[in-house]
């Protein structure tokens, strides 16, 4: 069954597809489905609110089940910032380099034990008949002092997940390694289970 995803981010689409494919779900970008989706203004103050806004809008406009993700980085020392503003932390949406620079500057001089953080992902699926599914995943880690690794996107080159004991950043993991521990991987596996139960 085809589901549309409310994003233009091919890397996000690929992550969802890897996990949902085994249950018979094909995830399509709007462009792949020949549909134009409105860019929804993310006015929510939580990941849950923003994910629901995007999924409801995408479902209404496409007439297809729509999956939307809202995710970001919550840094302990910064009282949960950048949070829902992670993608536009620097003031320009999607500028990973500028966002990473701003985060490094905000944590300059902060000792390692105070650099704890969590990647958070909320995945929402809305169906044309009004059904709604939601799942949340988190991945704890530490923010490093410099970029390491070339994989992933966003803050991955700075984020050392606890599962790898500060030996690898998210940007150094293979796709399978990342899926196994990532916030999005956890949320998508949970939503996949829920989708599988109602299909």
Element (H, E) at 179: helix 175-181
**Cβ neighbours, 10 Å, residue 76:** 15
For residue 70, indicate whether it is catalytic: yes
Closest CA to 27 of 54, 51, 60, 5: 5
14 in Cβ contact with 42 (< 8 Å): no
Q: Which of 39, 70, 76, 176 is catalytic?
A: 70
154 in Cβ contact with 138 (< 8 Å): no
Residues designated catalytic: 70
């Amino acid at each position: 069954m085809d589901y549309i995803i409310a994003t233009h981010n091919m890397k996000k689409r690929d992550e969802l597809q890897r996990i949902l494919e085994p249950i018979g779900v094909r995830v399509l970008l709007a462009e792949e489905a020949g549909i134009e989706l409105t860019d929804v203004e993310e006015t929510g103050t939580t990941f849950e609110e923003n994910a629901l806004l995007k999924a409801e809008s995408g479902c209404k406009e496409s007439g297809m089940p729509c999956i939307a993700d809202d995710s970001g980085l919550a840094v302990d020392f910064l009282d949960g910032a950048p949070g829902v503003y992670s993608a536009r932390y620097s003031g320009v949406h999607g500028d990973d380099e500028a966002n990473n620079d701003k985060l490094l500057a905000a944590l300059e001089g902060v000792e390692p034990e105070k650099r704890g953080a969590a990647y958070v992902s909320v995945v929402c699926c809305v169906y044309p008949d009004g059904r709604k599914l939601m799942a949340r995943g988190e991945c704890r880690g530490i923010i490093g002092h410099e970029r390491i690794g070339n994989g992933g996107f966003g803050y991955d080159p700075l984020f050392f997940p606890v599962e790898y004991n500060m030996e690898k950043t998210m940007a150094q993991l293979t796709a399978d390694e990342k899926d196994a521990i990532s916030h999005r991987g956890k949320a998508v596996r949970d939503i996949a289970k829920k989708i599988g139960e109602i299909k």
